[in-house]
Amino acid sequence: MDRKKEFLRIFKLADTKFGKSDYRLAGEAWVEPWQTVVVTIMSAQSRDETTIPIAEALFARYPTLVSLAEARYAEVLEILRSMNYNRTKARHVIACAKEILVRYNGEVPETIDELITLPGVGRKTANLVVTECFGKQGICVDTHVHRIANVLGLVKTKTPTETEFALMDVAPQRYWGKINRVFVLWGKAVAGRDKKKLLAVLR
């Protein structure tokens, strides 16, 4: 199989099916880049429908990066109490806000290498931030992207990071920033690892 040709064929079908959806993912449509960073940290192992209203409540209480950096852990934890891994996330969002203020003068860094040095930020979050906030190309790989790419044979990888770099070899760069949204919506529509079911929904 020519994986590059197969990617293009499949991605165009998936983009036609899901690309115009108005469904909002957790990391989308925030006003400030620091909010995108914080929400994406919060979204790990949590549904978008859960994450978005909690993030809105957090930003209503802490509307600026400074106020979040100065927030008390117990108060942030109370807002995040219904999320998975709420204690770790509460620590990370406060620490991340502080780091952005101290190390980057309140400006979210625009490179993946810099972003992944922030508390709670891995490559998934970093790639989402550079594509969503700064219009750069990156492949944000979550569980849906990792699963679908492997089930369809576009990559043969064991970890999301391996999938990110493997997809770079098969996907034209102009599509990198769109892969996450399209594959996440696709993954939400079809669970499991049945290749026929994944492809059937594109018809």
Domains of the chain and any CATH numbers: 3-23+138-200 (1.10.1670.10), 33-134 (1.10.340.30)
pLDDT exceeds cutoff 90 at 198: yes
5, 17, 98, 124: the catalytic one is: 124
Q: How many CB atoms lie within 10 A of CB 66?
A: 13
List the structure tokens of 85. 């891994």
3-state secondary structure of 61: helix
Chain CA centroid to CA 157, Å: 19
124 is known as an active-site residue: yes
**For residues 146 and 140, what is the distance between their CA atoms, to the nearest angstrom?**
10
pLDDT exceeds cutoff 90 at 101: yes
pLDDT band of residue 170 (cuts 50, 70, 90) is very high
List the structure tokens of 84. 């998975």
- Distance between the two ends of the chain, CA-based, in angstroms? 21
pLDDT band of residue 1 (cuts 50, 70, 90) is confident
Radius of gyration, alpha carbons of the chain: 17
Is the whole-model pTM more than 0.85?
yes
